Amino acid sequence: MAYIYMKSDICEILKKKPIIIMDTNVWLDLYSLSPDTIGSIVEALSESNLFWLPNQVYSEFKRHVKEKRDENINRYQRLKEEICKHLSDNQNKINSVFNTFNRFKLPEILEQNEYIKNEIIKIQNEASQKLKEIQSNHTKSMVSNGISKSSDCIEQYIDELHKKSNAKRYSTIELLRIYEEGEKRYKYKIAPGFTDIKKKDNESSEIPERKYGDLIIWKEILNLLSDSQKDVIFINNEKKMDWWVPDIINKNRIPTVLTEEFMSKTNGNYQFTMLTFDEFINHCGEELNVPIHAILEITERISFISDLNKYFNEKLSQIIIDFTNQDEVQERIIDQINEDILGEYIAGGNVDEVDEIEISDIKSTKEKFSFDDDEFQMIIEFDVEISADSNISVYWNKESGTSGSVEIKSTGKFEVILTIDYTQAPEKSYSLYEYSINQFKILKLNFNDYDFDESMIEDGEYECPDCGRRYSIDEDGGNGFCNDCAWNH
């Protein structure tokens, strides 16, 4: 995969004994690695004296570490619970189908239903037991590599590094000055941190810090340079544009303002380098005595994610077409149309029956995708424009109505979540986890043709239930009332 820097360039910087700083997300992301790799990485980092920890990174790490650690310690427990839930849900659905088709309680149908139910229970028990064993082995492996709920080698190293770094905690007045500057920077989208402007403040703290966390870290880095003039390598796994710019703007993708502030602080004598953790480990892992197996796990996983993103970028439209063409998805769309169309006003009345909905076309727009590193899932979002045909009945009053074929236009928003298996090639790595349809609307409902008895118009065959007057279609006020009484309903 393509990295920002050449390995030789980073190794040259490393020879100058730079200050190496890792952002909060990098420390927390360590928990998602395999137990062996976690232990190897922490051991290698702890043997180096190049690392420095900003106070803000320490505070953010402490705020999130328990949740992140527990999530990864119990990763297979969550899998077991979800698998068993899906098996149980499918058993209930199958039972419901059998009940629908077996109103007369035929013995052979009851026997088959019982057989399938027992098989699902058997599979559920086997899967539960196997995943329980996997979770047990994972927990033992985590413990042997220094991570448990009571003892954590990553947190222990962070605590030691925090004491060693002796990073100054800003006073309330100093923080207020940073917040004031942050307001101006965020207004004009000046890095870093302006995409955090909508973050809610930490209610457990007297001073709100979340919104300005990235800016506080940056100010700590600049403040450090007052006492220690050195090159700085900043390792950051953020993907947001408030830390990175496109390479067509800057080849090293560092926002110009950050380079300017750093150069001003060091009188142009030192270099600021920013890269992701996988690039850092790829270039510097051997220099820092990180074992080869740990380097390969990190770089190969990131390489896979890069290939996966490339595949989805090229094939997204076809992936969405394949998804929307699935029978189960189209049935759900039809159910949604049926639910929304009932009661719709058309031809002087309201739809009271819908039959034989057939989808003729689905067009997707505003297609986008994002990869969730924590859950290892691909999230696809897109809007749809749906064309369909159906037969409907329209209620006018107790004695009359009409029916016929209609053209239906509707819109909605899809969110599709795919689980990813990184042991497979990108094109075979994804499977459907769940999806949702939101903001569904019927935009257009037009009759192609409908049945109507012309004599009813001539003779005024409608009777208003309010005033009792008989009226023609020209005097129809809707909902089965004449135009004099309809406004009351």
Mean pLDDT of 332-359: 89
Per residue in 124-181, pLDDT tens?
899 889 989 999 998 998 888 889 888 899 999 999 999 999 998 899 999 999 999 9
Could you tell me which residues come within 8 angstroms of residue 111 by beta carbon, excluding any fewer than 6 positions away?
A: none
| Spatial contact of 396 and 479, defined as CB atoms under 8 Å apart | no
Distance CA 380, CA 359 (A): 22
pLDDT band at 444 (very low <50, low <70, confident <90, very high): confident
Determine the 3-state secondary structure of 354 from DSSP. Answer: strand
Instruction: State mean pLDDT over 361-367.
Output: 96
- Six-digit token string for 414: 């899809």
pLDDT of residue 385: 96
The residue assigned the tokens 């703290």 is 205
pLDDT above 80 (res 101): no
Q: Which two tokens stand for residue 346?
A: 């058309």
Q: Averaged over 328-353, what is the pLDDT?
A: 89
**Integer Rg of the chain from CA:** 32
User: Higher pLDDT residue, 302 or 215?
Assistant: 215
- More confident: 75 or 321: 321
- What is residue 458's predicted lDDT score, i.e. its pLDDT? 43
The structure tokens listed for 349 are 């009345």
Judge whether residue 109 has pLDDT over 90: no
- Helices in 244-291 by DSSP H: which ranges? 256-265, 277-284
- Which bin fits 356, alpha (ψ -120 to 50), beta or left (φ > 0)? left
Percentage of residues in the chain with pLDDT exceeding 70? 91
* pTM, 2 dp: 0.71
Q: Locate 39 and state its tokens.
A: 């232990």
**396's tokens:** 């006018």
Residues 6+ apart with CB under 8 A from 44: 285, 288, 289, 290, 291, 294
Tell me how far apart the alpha carbons of residues 261 and 267 are, in angstroms, rounded to a whole number. 10
Tokens standing for 144?
Answer: 């042997």
Distance CA 288, CA 43 (A): 10
> How far is residue 370's CA from residue 120's CA, in Å, rounded to a whole number?
34
471's enclosing H/E stretch is strand 470-471
pLDDT tens, position by position, 451-461 = 654 444 444 56
Helices 107-144 and 75-101 pack at an angle, to 10 degrees, of 170
Q: How confident is the model at residue 244 (pLDDT cuts 50, 70, 90)?
A: confident
Contact indicator for 242, 196 with CB cutoff of 8 Å? yes
Tell me whether residue 444 is exposed, middle or buried, using C-beta atoms within 10 angstroms of its C-beta: 0 to 12, 13 to 18, 19 or more. exposed
Instruction: Give the integer Cα–Cα distance in Å for 462 and 483.
Output: 12
Least confident stretch, 101-105, 160-164, 356-360, 421-425: 101-105
| Mode of pairing for the β-strands spanning 232-235 and 19-22 | parallel
- State in Å, rounded, how far the first CA of the chain is from the last one: 66
Q: Where are the beta strands (DSSP E) in 218-348?
A: 232-235, 272-275, 345-346
Whether residue 419 contacts residue 377, with contact meaning beta carbons closer than 8 Å, is answered with yes
Q: Give the integer Cα–Cα distance in Å for 159 and 152.
A: 11
Q: What backbone torsions phi and psi does residue 28 show, to the nearest 5 degrees?
A: -70, -35
